[in-house]
Structure 1
Amino acid sequence: MPHALIAGVPMGWSRQVRGALDKVKVPDWTFSVFPGSDPKIAGISDKQLPDLLADAAKRGGAHVFCVSDGRDRQRIATAIREHFRFRWLASDVVRTATTQSEPLVKDIERAIKEEIEWRNALHPIVKSSPLALPQRGFSAERSVEAIWSMSESFNKEDGFFAKVGEALEQFRMQHLKKWDKHRERFFIDLSNRVWKDDGPYHGDAPFPRDWKYSSALPERFHFDVQHAQRKAFNFNDRAGRGKSVATSKHCNVDAHGYLR
């Protein structure tokens, strides 16, 4: 059952926000509130982020709806959006729920309608999906390189995520190719690197890197990355670590672009 986690609600508003959520009429969805650390100011502290991510995982990959007074928005979004489906709620609408619930109820119902469209088009993220590839690591054709940012979008027009699904098919047409003597097709990037996902999985990814877009990745999942002509190459991961890969060898890269 899909779950929406309303995070960053000031502790002083929590009771009223929970009451508003009880009035949301969306079949099958459940809701909970993850209060912020301040009784009056909306937002999530650095110390709370690990617990918020753990709560989202515990609930089977919750969609995280967050409210913030604005000072920490970029930090919060960066920490969450690659791992769990993420969107902002307007803080003034959430604040209004302390006196009247209708505006928040309408905003939540409107948001859930879009989240249902997102889930129908993109969820779950399986290893064969282009979205399992790391945006920071896989060099994609310009015509399809926006698939990750499109997938993280919200407050879009009806039908937007169906178009994202079409973009994923275009990505497959551009990058999913036969290689060597394998029957399977593999994603091959513009740097002529083959991203294989059929080898034995090993090496645990630290939480929350074992989650992507509200999907739990297979245990120890990673890509074996090697040059299509088996040439030596260098790989720089998103943490700034570099690795020299010898001829006919590969390196292990996780779904977020970190070397394993």
Structure 2
Amino acid sequence: MTERQRARYEQLGANLEVVERRIADACAAAGRERSEVSLVVVTKTYPAEDTALLAALGVTEVAENRDQDAAPKAELCVDLPLTWHFVGQLQTNKVRSVVRYADLVHSVDRPRLVESLAAAVRNAERAPLGCLVQVALDKEAGEGQHRAGVAPDEVPALADLIADTPGLQLAGVMTVAPLSGPLAGDPAASFGRLAEIASAVRAAHPAATMVSAGMSGDLEQAVAAGATHVRVGTAVLGVRSPLG
């Protein structure tokens, strides 16, 4: 390891310790076991070298949001013991590439994408792909129509479709705190609403236990509301440079 790599390794390790403490404290405050919450480190815009350092530090789950960045990074890190989450808006023309490396796709928000994912899984002859329904909470109030995700009242039908589609496994639900509507600026209420939606999905599909919510700025509220996976990038890797 070079001196630069060692410095980055130590920086990432220190950041991880802070995030781990935040998650542990949030779990304790919510009366939950720390083992109930998984940390997914969002490595977007950072190089494969950082992903390898994170793996060396014990990180087991990483996330990407753009296939053009994720595919080559996953290839470089293919021998590392990592679970790969795809968390970005997914166009159908990227599906074939994404199913080559992703273990879970958090951003399933339309039947056409379900069909494309299933076809790509069949063609790749791979294990079933975990899928989460992306919930757009702002759409419940008629806002955010341009944003990815389905309105809460559309979740049951999409969940049923995923569960009934060969090659896919319904893993749970995901959301990002909304930017508009009555829940904007209130992550606690947002994640509480997601918890209600997740509970209804589990009632119909008991194996769909994942609740993906919370990021660097609001992971505590997500843990309090029952999130099983928090997606943290900046707090671990640092402030991102603008995408080109």
Taking structure 1 as the reference length, the TM-score comes to: 0.24
Larger Rg computed on CA atoms: 1
Higher helix share: 2
Q: Of the two structures, which has the highest relative contact order with CA contacts closer than 8 Å and spacing of 6 or more?
A: 2
